[in-house]
Amino acid sequence: MHSKMKLIKDIGLRFMLLAAAGSWMMLFSCTPQREIAYSEAMSETAMLLWPDSFQLSTPGKPVKWSYDLGVILKGMEEVWRLTDDQKWFDYIQKMMDFYVREDGSISRYRLEEYNIDHINNGKVLLFLYNETGAEKYRKAVQLLRRQLSTHPRTSEGGFWHKQIYPYQMWLDGLYMAQPFYAAYAQAFGEDTIYNDVVRQFGLMEKYARDSTTGLLYHGWDESREQAWADGTTGRSPHVWGRAFGWYGMALVDALDFFPEGNQGKDSLQAILNRWATAALAAQDVESGLWYDIIDMPERNGNYFESSACAMIVYTLLKGIRMKYLDEDMADAATRGYDGIVDRFLSQDAAGNYHFEGTVKVSGLGGKPYRDGSFDYYISEPVIRDDPKGLGAFIKCSVEMEKRNRSSK
């Protein structure tokens, strides 16, 4: 009898334990898992890939003062603001300190090259100066400002893309210089800059915008001398996705620094709205993505390009958050973000995230000559973890994470 009672008690105890375990299992299964912060995950990947600025260069070649780095670090700046985690700030400072000397000179930078790309990292230097007050950053910022003071221009005052590309404006160049230029105006009280910033965007839209689609062509040659330039319009022949994305990001970032009541701010917001309308009209309905050559979705060989998608979605999401764009654009922007995550994110065996599907580079002219043809754009290599695409995705993810937080 005693052994029988013990058996019954044992069975009862086991049942209670199993029931309790089941309750805990149900509790855990019903508890929502923390959403992956892709902005942080991809920033971690960047730190693994480039623990030192030197490793941004091709082995055996001199280290460059590269705009690519600035794209990543501007994304990381937003991650720092969102998380308040000191490691992101420390990484940004370490990467810039590789170049900036105590006297404010910048290693591997030459003003006399008049390369508009070289201005991009100035945004990061301004950030570091604002946060630390260190004189070396102020001096480096003013060095870049001096470049813009004497940078060659078109007859109407548009900055050439590079001295080696005379009379040419490219969409890319607006991102490289104009947010820095506007931020400098705010930081140092040089208000006349604002009109110049508006002029740059206006000229690019005036000469590069297609009146039918609203999309902007990659480049414009005032002289009409380039083989890639249309003899009548001076425009390059195609709408390259990343260039279109650069222009959008430039608009929404430059607007941050315009004072309220400035007429130029209204002008830029109007340009941004025209840009956004064209971007949404060109979005692929099924995937939510954009093609490398945006206006030729049916052409054989065209493909969805990740950096363009991230830049466009970033611009839309930030424009909506800042109330420059209408909220009714949010569904399309969210579909775009979901499409990016579905198609372009991957994980390696160690669990690190990677960003796929970014065209390494596309340009106009130069040696060997890039003729701006469809075949040229499509021939450029598509790679993993390109700094431009990865950085744009970090910025894009921060905006999505901000939106998700505000909706809770």
Q: For the chain, how long is the longest CA-to-CA vector?
A: 107
Distance of alpha carbon 124 from alpha carbon 54, whole angstroms: 17
Q: Are 142 and 122 in contact (CB under 8 A)?
A: no
- Count of alpha carbons within 13 angstroms of residue 51, beta-carbon side: 1
Measured in degrees and rounded to the nearest 5, phi and psi for residue 161 equal: -65, -45
Residues 6+ apart with CB under 8 A from 192: 185
Alpha helices in 189-240 (DSSP H): 192-208
Q: Which of 68, 117, 172, 196 is catalytic?
A: 172
Give the pair of three-digit tokens for residue 143.
Answer: 């060095």
- Count of alpha carbons within 13 angstroms of residue 103, beta-carbon side: 2
Does residue 304 sit in helix, strand or coil? strand
The neighbouring-strand residues paired with 216 are 209
Is residue 172 part of the annotated active site? The answer reads yes
**Whose structure tokens read 């709205």?**
273
Residue 260, exposed/middle/buried by CB under 10 A (0-12, 13-18, 19+)? Answer: exposed
Q: Are 215 and 244 in contact (CB under 8 A)?
A: yes
Distance of alpha carbon 191 from alpha carbon 175, whole angstroms: 20
Q: Which residues are catalytic?
A: 172
